[in-house]
Amino acid sequence: NVSYLSYPGRCNTHTLANHFHCFNYGRLFRRLKRRRSTHTGFPPLFRTQLLRAWLPNPPCITMAAVGPEEGDQAPADWPPSPLPATSAFLFPMDSPVRQWCLKTIAPNTWFDKFILFLIIFNSITMGMTDYAVVEAETNTPAGGGKTGFKIGSDFTTEVESGSNTFVEALELPFLILFTIEMITKIIALGFRGSPNTYIKDGWNKLDLLVVVVGWLGLILDAIDPELLPINLGVLRAFRILRPLRSIARLPGLKRVISSLISSIPYLIDLVILVAFCLLIFSILGMQLFSGKMHYRCRITEFPVKLDPTCNTTSSDNFLGLDCWETYISAVLADPEAWRCLPDAAADDDIKDKSGSPWAIPQDCIWPFSPEDGTLCSSESNLDKHTCAVGEFCGSNYDPFGNERFISAETPYGFNRMDSGTWSEDYNWGLTQFDNIGQSFVTIFQAVSEEGWTDIMYACMDVDGTISSYIVFILLIFCGSFFLMNLFLAAIGIEEEDEEEEETEEEAIERKQEETAHQLAEDNAGPLKKFVTHKYFDGFITGCILVNTITLSMDKYPEADALKDVEVVNMILTYVFIIEMALKVPALGPVAYASDPFNLFDAFIVTTSIVEIIIAATGDGEGGASGMSALRTFRLFRVFKLAKQWEEMQILLKAMVRTVFDIANFAVLLALFMYIMALVGMQFFANEMHFDAETGAKIPFIDKFDRFNSFDVMSNIPRNNFDNLTWSLTTIFQFLSGENWNSIMYDCYRAIGIGGVVYSLVVFIVGVMIVMNLFLAILLSNFEGNDDLIKVGGDSSVTPEIIQETEDSVPRRATIMPESTSKAFWFLESSNPLRAQCTKIANDKRFENFILFLILFSSCTLAIDSPLDQPSSLLQGLDVIMTILFFLEFAIKAISLGFMLHKGSYLRNGWNVLDFVIVVISFMAMFGVGPGKSLRALRTVRVLRPLRMVNKLPELQLVVNALMNSVPAVANVLLICFLFFLIFAILGVNIFKGTLFACGGDGAYGGDECPFDEGLCDLILDPVGYSAMSAAQGAVLPVDSTCAADYAAASSVVPTSRELCECQDPAAWAAVLPRSFDNVGDALLLLYELSTTEGWVDYMYAAVDSEGVDMQPRRYLKNSDGTDNYDDKSDTVLIILFYVMFIVVGSFFVINLFVGVVIDNFNSLKAAKEGGSVFMTDEQKEWSNTRKFVMKLRPKRQYKPPTNPFRKSMHDIMNIEKPLSFDAFIMLCIILNSTVMAIEYHGMSDTFRAVLTNINYLFAFIFTVEMIIKVAALGWVRYLSDSWNKFDCMIVFGTDIGLALYFITGIEIGSVASIIRMCRIGRIFRLVNSAKSLNQYFTTIISSLPSLYNIGLLLFLLFFIYAVMAVQIFSKVEYNDDYTERANFRNFGNSMVTLFRFSTGENWNGYMHSMLMNKEPDCHLDPPYPKDSEWCFASDLDPCGSQPGALMKAGGVFTDAELEAFGDSTCCIELYGCGDAGWALFFFYSFTLLVTFVMLNLFLGVILEAFEDNETGDTLSPAELDLFCEDWCKFDNDGTGNMKVSDLTSFMQILDKPMGFGEEYDANNDELYMRLEECGIMNIQVDQSEEPVVQIHQVATALAQRVVQERIGSADIDLDPTAVKSEHASEGKQFVRAIIKPKYTMSASERKASMAVRNEEMHNLHDNHEVNVHHVPHPANHAAALSPKVPPVVEEGGDEEKVVEEKVEEKVVEDEKVDEKVEEKVEEKTETEEKGE
């Protein structure tokens, strides 16, 4: 109710701070309004008072937050005031010219709309620039009437680009018109000198910049470039900013931008935090991997000289010359004869950079091993990659970073110094750790979860497994799972401020429409009753379902049965036409059109009629294709089910509402994509021409004339910027996150480091900000939507879940059998056996023993591997575990009864899980049912760890919450399925039979044909036998039946498939693992693409496709036989299909799923009265305490020592001026971190010496710091602080390392690097002094328990899936993706590989690679060789006879024969293949459970913690400081705990309004009563010798009393931790039981006293005595209470005068309190300065 917020008061709307308040309080109001159903305990009057108490300027709120937005009309107070008296020094205010200009530029006039039209038109024309026609010398578009040359031609024929001429011709008129606009605004408003002048508006500044730069470029273009050599391309790039001007003229878009701008304070803090964390990882990467990622295996021990006779003038790449092999052979025959520096010392003997023999680069090379392309380590270590015997690990740089070789293009075709890493496998040398820039880019790429595993595997090759795992897994956890999600939290806060509630008028209008509709229903005629009858609707619904089924039956190759399906489709078409023909006259045209579903039906029927016409008049495949496309529209009728399906209707309404809400976002997204695409075209068009063999960039002016060759043109990356279509597609690929790093590598190769900067800007702005804005809008539509939560089923489930989670503490429930029940039909409750079983089941030792058995059983599962010889020990342990678990079941079943009565064993869901696992284990043990095979036995055992859920309440919390959300998620998944089904059927209609090629896998583009060039050309362009040339006839297979048939049908043109299979029947195969050949395959493919993994590959394959059974090709041919490099005619439509699916199927539908999951947890949280869903009671107490302590920052109270030396150290430690001791140490930490960051591989000896000495200095400073603190505080107090412990460890480690180095010359190496790196961890101490960052760290700390619980369940899932993967997939042979680093051959590798898949890193490509080989070429479960061993875990050489190779050659063997292969002198290579059924279940379920559910729980927890932390505090900052000061007198160590016995003393000295204050001596009755009033007596504490209360409990209870006093209500409960139960929980006791108050007053006297106090509070309430404290900072969302704002009263009468007098008295009293508070704060400050 807006009236709650509207009362008299001043509001200065021109201040930025007030605008922030309006947004913040508007959000508060909306949240209370949304959650009104869950806050029934708040009386309406209190809600009014609470809102008023927290709102300093209500008119602001009415206007800016909850009031209606301004319309499209110009404001009535135009022109703005004040304006300068004279504009442009010529036009006074009364000048007719100025008055006309003011009238013209007024908002929403024709002029404003005309300028918007010009901006849009100009933006479109800029995208029309044709970069395919360029000037011969400059590679710039040829326009303005000039001729140029076509890219891809031989540059001999000049052509003219009409589009370029058109664009250039319009440039000057656009510039003139924009200049006129600028001059008109300057004349009207004045240029400067007033708040409303032209230059004061940011958008006008952008206009001015664009116009000035435009004229500058035009003028310079007319000047001779030789006289004024300025890069005009840079100036032209500023034109791309023109589309941004449209933002100021589109109100909705401007509102979205304003939301982003208002998020800037949060985003700046967050960017600083993220950059800071990434910088730490970057420095850590430099310390560990710098200089190591250039090492490759070489065929010689040292660099060698080149053969001067082996060269050519036609290329810089000599490796393909015949003489090169001769040269390499000669080098291998006598390496010493070719040694580059015969007298050069070994790398280990080089002591410094200047003294290195490689200080001067040499004209030599160091040949690579042709067999080993992996990075290597010069150190021999099992975890690192070492070179084979006879090969040597070496780098193009010496140990100190000297370049060994000169920078020449020969002999590799690119800079030979880059030869170690210049390949696609190593990202063209970009991802390195040699300096802070490269390291930061590498770390940023890793944290984006794209390509991070390739970098990690490379680091493992050079530095080992442990360090690489620690760095990258920790990076993904901290960076990807947490820090990146904070962007959504930061943006989501401000986006909520832009939401609008349904107005009261809209609700009335909707109600009127429903009433009118009901009246029309009552007065309906016979025909209308017929078409609205439920049976008619049911018949139409059945037709819709039949229609969906028939459309889903389409497939490739087509079956004969599909002809009957066509008849059914035709009948359904007529049925839907008849339905429309009946409804229009029955309902009337107006009523018919008022229903959106009817309009949709009309559209479908219209397309059906068009389909019939096409079928009647069309001929050939074109007509059939058009029919199939139109028929697909009928599938959308399935959404009519929403009319009868309430849950689906609610979801669809939410989706439609979201679509409207994201309309402005869609404009912003399109604008961002368009501008970034134009920028990309400006800088990268025609720049991505790379050599096909070397990958090096081909310059436009190439000495070998390769720029336009077919090899180069066909090697242009698919993600290029050569035209607007592919530029926009590339930007969209950035936004999807799929292989965005590959685009960055190509941009880097094209223009250098500028390409990296461009790519990072697009990713950061596009993905981390713009796309998070989209998700924030989507989630906001689900927040507080009670109807949507009801989709999940009966809301009564929620209290049960909440009760269940609350009862999970204590950890173990007592087993109590029903007194009247019988166990197993004959055991009474009094039976001795049953009583004994009950006693055992309730024994804690029994429960702990079962928990131990589960853990032990899980460990045996982890170490058990099918690759090992069968172990009788493990088999015996498995039998023992099964028997023991059966005994547990028997004991509990006897105690509780089995299943028939209430409370029996199987009436509990967790017991059912235990029972099923026991039964399956027995079946597997005895070899019955699913346990007949050893493979099944190994698989079912992985379910045992699930029993941990029943034993740990932390896991039960998460699982219960997940189970509660299953119904809602199931409905959303059904919506997802419907969307997927629509795209699947559409994809089958368009792409069936097209994703095949002669050459199979990866052959899209037609460049992988396995036959001779002549036959491949014929397959690519088939011709009839009669039209075939002699050369083409010669390539046909001789004496083949198909060739004879081909010759017989001389006039028939065969398909590419027929020609390919004529040569080799197995050669025609799918280019990618999945296809659109039927709806089933299409659904599986779309599920994979919804994760955005691999979608671009399928898009490229579809673009290259040429039709059913035709060979795909990237480029077409011209009529004269030359290559045509223009896009195909259907390219845009195919790209649009995949882009639309990613938008709908990935961005929208999957995030819709996320939104419902998170909102379901929010509803559970609301049901728990704000408590976290994922925390136990103990965890909530810990979280609240940590959060409160971080806000208060209680300081430890230390008394100065009496010893003179220690006292002097204490004085030094407490120096405050001119720079405090702590500030000096912080400065040293920052400088030390900076020194570590500026190191780089290859730095000079002098620079290295300077940095080394500086590091020694810092080591000395930190050692002195520790000595000073130890002397001042003593060891006990010093080590009581965690940061001091960390400092001490670092200091000791550093000093010991330095001592070893100086005394013995031993350097610890990587350990020393880690020790130096740990020192940077101290910089986190800056967070305590950085208030803006403290909120994010508070979020981190407060969410740790929830993250721990979710992480625990996530680990359990990982464990189960890892064990399952080892049991099923460990025997799969290595291939392109299943490698030595990424495999399931042991539990450790399996866990890391699954962690990789949880980030989405090529999970589907990995799955398909395991299924490449199929039986009989491999074996599903290879038996262990009896006399040999597997090669992957052996030092033996492979046997000469390998079963895998023999099976691929056609050999067939029994298991007994396979076991007999090999002997004790050799090993057997694994030859297993993946099981397709298991693989689909394994990978799809893992992706669904982990990626879509569990990892999104992390997101939900972060959003919850962020929202909780930004909600208000009741106490003002000054009051919190006083509270903290008094608290620390009883909590010297700053633990956040106080003894219960100290509460009365604390309440005595605690200042008003919370306590009594030292100036008033309260008696015991008053102290006890104050503790009672605050609820402190009801706090539960642990039973111990010295029970303590936590700081957040006491502060929250005191805040309750402050609210009661200030707002005037005695029945408010703001204390979620206060316990209302009469009995304390197990192991707990009330504070009252410890203090044991002894009152001198009777109970009635105390009651009367409290009644008097309550009466006073109610009197204040009745007189509207509401006091408000102003928010101290606009970015702070915490509204605190303080007596500053006058009360709200009604005007007129003596009552008003009386109230005003009371208000004045209250204000004076409150001002006195404020003065006392300020005095206390000043005293505290003085005390701190004295170092007390």
Write the DSSP string, 1172-1234: -TT--HHHHHHHHHHHHHHHH-PPP--PPPSSHHHHHHHHHHT--SSS-HHHHHHHHHHHHHH
pLDDT band at 56; cut points 50, 70, 90: very low
> Alpha-carbon distance 1070 to 1075, whole Å?
8
How do residues 1126-1135 score in pLDDT, each as one tens digit? Answer: 888 889 999 9
Cα→Cα distances 894→322, 754, 822, 1103, 1599, Å: 85, 74, 9, 67, 52
Percent helix, strand, coil in the chain (nearest 5)? 60, 5, 35
How do residues 1386-1396 score in pLDDT, each as one tens digit? Answer: 999 999 999 99
Q: Which residues face 1372 on adjacent strands?
A: 1472
* Selected residue with higher pLDDT from 1291 and 1171: 1291
How do residues 1494-1524 score in pLDDT, each as one tens digit? Answer: 887 877 787 777 766 654 455 566 777 777 7
Using the Cα atoms of residue 1598, residue 1599, residue 1601 and residue 1602 in order, give the sign of their dihedral. positive
Q: Does residue 604 surpass a pLDDT of 70? A: yes
Q: Does residue 33 surpass a pLDDT of 50? A: no
Least confident of 445-449, 825-829, 963-967, 1012-1016: 825-829
Cα→Cα distances 1681→49, 51, 1515, 1547, Å: 12, 12, 6, 20
Please, which residues have CB within 8 angstroms of residue 98's CB and are 6 or more apart in sequence? 87, 91, 92, 187, 188
pLDDT of residue 1329: 55
User: Smallest Cα–Cα separation from 1321: which of 1270, 1347, 1285, 1345?
Assistant: 1285
> Alpha-carbon distance 911 to 916, whole Å?
9
pLDDT band at 123; cut points 50, 70, 90: confident
> Alpha-carbon distance 261 to 621, whole Å?
54
Question: Which whole number is the average pLDDT over 245-263?
Answer: 69
* Selected residue with higher pLDDT from 1670 and 1481: 1481
Q: Does residue 107 surpass a pLDDT of 60? A: yes
Q: Which amino acid is at 938?
A: R
Q: How far is C-alpha 35 from the chain's CA centre? A: 28
Question: Which whole number is the average pLDDT over 44-60?
Answer: 36
Do the Cβ atoms of 1452 and 1416 come closer than 8 Å? yes
pLDDT of residue 1610: 40
Q: Which residues face 150 on adjacent strands?
A: 133
> Alpha-carbon distance 805 to 1177, whole Å?
9
**E-assigned strand segments in 1013-1093:** 1068-1070
Query: What token pair was written down for 769?
Result: 């900000």
Least confident of 159-163, 872-876, 1336-1340: 1336-1340
Cα→Cα distances 1048→519, 901, 1186, Å: 75, 81, 87
Q: Does residue 34 surpass a pLDDT of 50? A: no
How do residues 273-312 score in pLDDT, each as one tens digit? Answer: 888 888 889 988 998 899 999 999 999 999 999 998 998 8
Q: What is the CA radius of gyration of the chain?
A: 38
Do the Cβ atoms of 1005 and 1112 come closer than 8 Å? yes
* Selected residue with higher pLDDT from 1182 and 1246: 1246
Least confident of 641-650, 811-820, 1299-1308, 1392-1401: 811-820
Q: How many CA atoms lie within 13 A of 1350 on its CB side?
A: 23
Q: Helix/strand/coil (H, E, C) string of 777-816?
A: HHHHCCCCCHHHHHCCCCCCHHHHHHHHHHCCCCCCCCCC
Question: Which whole number is the average pLDDT over 611-618?
Answer: 72
Q: Does residue 248 surpass a pLDDT of 80? A: no
pLDDT of residue 336: 92
Question: Which whole number is the average pLDDT over 529-550?
Answer: 84
Please, which residues have CB within 8 angstroms of residue 1570's CB and are 6 or more apart in sequence? 1547, 1555, 1556, 1562, 1601
Query: What token pair was written down for 549?
Result: 């089924």
Helices (H), 633-764: 646-661, 663-684, 710-713, 724-736, 740-751, 753-763
Least confident of 460-469, 889-898, 1635-1644: 1635-1644
Question: Which whole number is the average pLDDT over 579-594?
Answer: 86
Q: Which residue has the tokens 């067999």?
A: 371
* Selected residue with higher pLDDT from 1605 and 990: 990
How do residues 1201-1224 score in pLDDT, each as one tens digit? Answer: 888 898 899 888 888 777 888 888
pLDDT of residue 857: 87
User: Smallest Cα–Cα separation from 146: which of 127, 162, 170, 128?
Assistant: 162
Do the Cβ atoms of 1449 and 1479 come closer than 8 Å? no
pLDDT of residue 439: 95
Q: Which residue has the tokens 């000297």?
A: 402
Q: What angle do CA 1678, 781, 6 make, to 5 degrees?
A: 50
pLDDT band at 402; cut points 50, 70, 90: very high
pLDDT of residue 242: 64
Q: Between the ranges 74-78, 363-367, 844-848, 1411-1415, where is the mean pLDDT highest?
A: 363-367
Q: Does residue 1678 surpass a pLDDT of 90? A: no
Least confident of 390-404, 699-713, 1049-1063, 1464-1478: 1049-1063
Query: What token pair was written down for 410?
Result: 């020969």
* Selected residue with higher pLDDT from 55 and 1484: 1484
* Selected residue with higher pLDDT from 688 and 879: 688
How do residues 1475-1493 score in pLDDT, each as one tens digit? Answer: 888 899 999 999 988 888 8
Pairing mode, if any, of strands 148-150 and 133-134?
A: antiparallel
Q: Which amino acid is at 217?
A: G
pLDDT of residue 54: 38
Question: Which whole number is the average pLDDT over 1039-1053?
Answer: 73
Phi-psi region of 1489 (alpha: psi -120 to 50; beta: other; left: phi over 0): alpha
Question: What does the DSSP assignment read for 678-692?
Answer: HHHHHHHTTT--B-T
Q: Which residues face 1467 on adjacent strands?
A: 1438
Query: What token pair was written down for 296?
Result: 């490759």
Residue 1699: DSSP 8-state: H
pLDDT band at 695; cut points 50, 70, 90: very high
Do the Cβ atoms of 1056 and 1046 come closer than 8 Å? no
pLDDT band at 495; cut points 50, 70, 90: very low
Question: Which whole number is the average pLDDT over 1377-1381?
Answer: 89
pLDDT of residue 940: 67
> Alpha-carbon distance 833 to 818, whole Å?
15
- For the chain, how far is it from start to end, CA to CA, in angstroms? 52
Round the average pLDDT of the chain to a whole number and report it: 77
**E-assigned strand segments in 1028-1139:** 1068-1070, 1116-1117, 1123-1124
How do residues 1436-1471 score in pLDDT, each as one tens digit? Answer: 888 988 998 999 888 888 888 898 898 888 999 999
> Alpha-carbon distance 1126 to 1345, whole Å?
58
pLDDT of residue 1706: 56
